[in-house]
Amino acid sequence: MKILVCISKTPDTTAKIAFTDNNRKFAADGVQWIINPYDEWYALVRAIEFKEKDPATVLHLVTVGAADAEPIIRKALALGGDEAIRINTDSHDAYTIASQIAAVAKEGGYDLVLTGKETIDFNGASIGGMVAELLELPYLSLATKVDIEGGAVRVIREIEGGEETDSTSLPVVISCQKGVAEQRIPNMKGIMGARSKPLKVVEPVAVDSLTSIEKFELPPAKAGVKLVPADQPEELVRLLHEEAKVF
């Protein structure tokens, strides 16, 4: 089996968020970058578990980004994987990113493409579905459990108010979330071994971007807390009605 895991570079959750260029670009100076947690903790670790079960499995990682994304994909290689592929373009357009991943996946002939359910910076949750459509493959999203046996895939996925169990056959694209696997930390052997693992840089395919960012906005500052004495329920009702406007 050949597996391709999609890896994204995202800001650490403790990073101070600011914007430049008239609020059209994220201010990256001084930001600590990490592997997108949904990609690392769930998609990648589940792929590693498949490889541990069957050592003949080929596990590749792919990222779309400039050279500054290489430390991130090296860290992903330290967790596991045979080689990494960096597609040499930097874009925030989901269609462009999905098209680049789909081109690599098509050329590589992968049986399974795994991605996190979303990135923690843009929260678009659209890459997996686009990749599947471009490859003309089945797509199962929001997976909390993924099992493969003899080419048959069984996925438990989260739906509104419960769970759904789906089955299909390889090849398939799956987006993963909490429950698929448990977080792992790279060990020294993995870190040292990642330095010598192949990291192939490929040029992007020609794609017209479909979206562009007009501006970013920070959420409004939180208002102060108003304390209402327990013996004044009518004041609480008034505040909820007149100020919070919840009814």
User: Pick from 234, 238, 214: which is nearest to 25 by CA?
Assistant: 214
* Contact of 211 with 222, CB cutoff 8 Å: no
Question: Which pLDDT score, from 0 to 100, does residue 42 have?
Answer: 96
Domain boundaries, the chain: 2-216
Contact at 8 Å (CB) between 126 and 134?
no
- Across 5-37, b (16+ Cβ under 10 Å) vs e yields bbbbbbbeeebeeeeeeeeeebeeeebebbbbb
**For the packed helices 94-108 and 127-135, what is the interaxial angle rounded to 10 degrees?**
50
**Residue-by-residue pLDDT tens, the chain, 247 positions:** 999 999 999 999 888 888 898 898 888 888 899 999 999 999 999 999 999 999 999 999 999 999 999 999 999 999 999 999 999 999 999 999 999 999 999 999 999 999 999 999 999 999 999 999 999 999 999 999 999 998 999 999 989 999 999 999 999 999 999 999 998 888 888 888 888 899 999 999 999 999 988 999 888 887 778 889 999 999 999 988 888 788 7
Q: What is the pLDDT of residue 120?
A: 92
Residue 191 has what pLDDT? Answer: 86
Closest to 42 measured CA to CA, from 85, 5, 83: 5
Q: What is the pTM of this model?
A: 0.87
- Predicted pLDDT at 114: 98
How far is residue 229's CA from residue 104's CA, in Å, rounded to a whole number? 62
Looking at residue 185, what is its pLDDT? 86
What CATH class does 2-216 carry?
alpha beta
